[in-house]
Amino acid sequence: MSKELENLINIVQRLRSEDGCEWDKKQTSESLTPHLLEEANEVVDAILENNPENLKEELGDLLLHIVFQATIASEKKLFNFDELAKKINEKLVDRHPHIFDENFNGEDQSKAKNWELNKKIEKNRQSILDGMPKSLSSLIVSQRYQDKTAAVGFEWDNYEQAMYKVEEELNELKIAIKNDDKKNIEEEIGDLLITIVNLSRFFSISAELALKKSNQKFYKRFNYIEKIAEKNNQKMEDISLKELLNYWNDAKNKEK
């Protein structure tokens, strides 16, 4: 263990001690979960911003939460940080026998490389789709489902086939809209979203991050419209859609 990591563990233990910080002492594994999720998302933001200094800081904050959770578990005599690290080390080695096992004969290379299938066997799951965290967004769940099924061969051969499926689902949505069938419209929108997620996989693109970036872009452009309206002493609700779209296109052009 590095000196700094050991120091971090000691600091957290001190904060949790009788003469430690009142806030840190009263925290539980459950109470920390909102902060844990927040820190994980801040790590993602730092990655998208391509900001190494910020990423270093946010990864440190996330590491703090890992140490915090391990410290609480240790206090309950459940496990400690060393046991946590030992567990993941063993898991990585066990799931990569073709890398770490000198006696591996290579007869079942594809199975050895199949992380998802190995997890199903190891955890005695009914399906390789089991085990997804309930807090994940639906986009991430959809992409992970398709990653898992692709690992056992359930996947289109190329992006053209995936694109054809997108067009097929879009046509089915058009029919549902034409029939004014709200329940079917909802179903077809869901199916269309899944096919879009599937298409993104063929280009090694995260659908979640693609949408996150588009949301950021949408915010920036609409905020530009708001500033223009304020500068011109206009109320947003009084501006015609045509004029709003002109402002929107101005915002797009300024990004180039």
Instruction: Write the pLDDT tens digit of every residue in 244-255.
Output: 999 999 999 988
φ, ψ for residue 67 (rounded to 5)?
-65, -40
Residue 56 lies in a domain: yes
The most confident of 38-47, 95-104, 131-140, by mean pLDDT? 38-47
How many domains is the chain built from?
Answer: 3
What does the pLDDT average to over 204-231?
93
What does the pLDDT average to over 158-184?
97
pLDDT score of 93 more than 90: no
Q: Full-prediction pTM beyond 0.85? A: no
Residue 208, both tokens: 């979640």
What does the pLDDT average to over 135-164?
92
Residue 107 lies in a domain: no
Q: How far apart are CA 197 and CA 211, in angstroms?
A: 10
Last residue in a domain, options 45, 60, 93: 93
Supply the CATH number for residue 51's domain. 1.10.287.1080
| Model confidence band, residue 233 (pLDDT cutoffs 50, 70, 90) | very high
Residue 177 lies in a domain: yes
CA distances from 114 to 92, 96, 120, 123 (A): 12, 9, 10, 14
Residues 88 and 28 in one domain: yes
Residues 193 and 220 in one domain: no
Least confident piece of the model among 85-99, 168-182, 183-197: 85-99
Please give the residue that has the higher pLDDT: either 103 or 189.
189
Last residue in a domain, options 76, 93, 110: 93
Residues 219 and 198 in one domain: no
User: C-alpha 23: how far from its chain's center?
Assistant: 29
Residue 137 lies in a domain: no
Write out the residue range of the structural domain in which residue 165 sits: 156-205
For position 109, what pLDDT does the model report?
Answer: 53
pLDDT score of 113 more than 60: no
Residue 134 lies in a domain: no
Q: Identify the sign of the CA torsion 207, 208, 211, 216.
A: negative
Residues 169 and 240 in one domain: no
Residues 180 and 248 in one domain: no
Residue 167 lies in a domain: yes
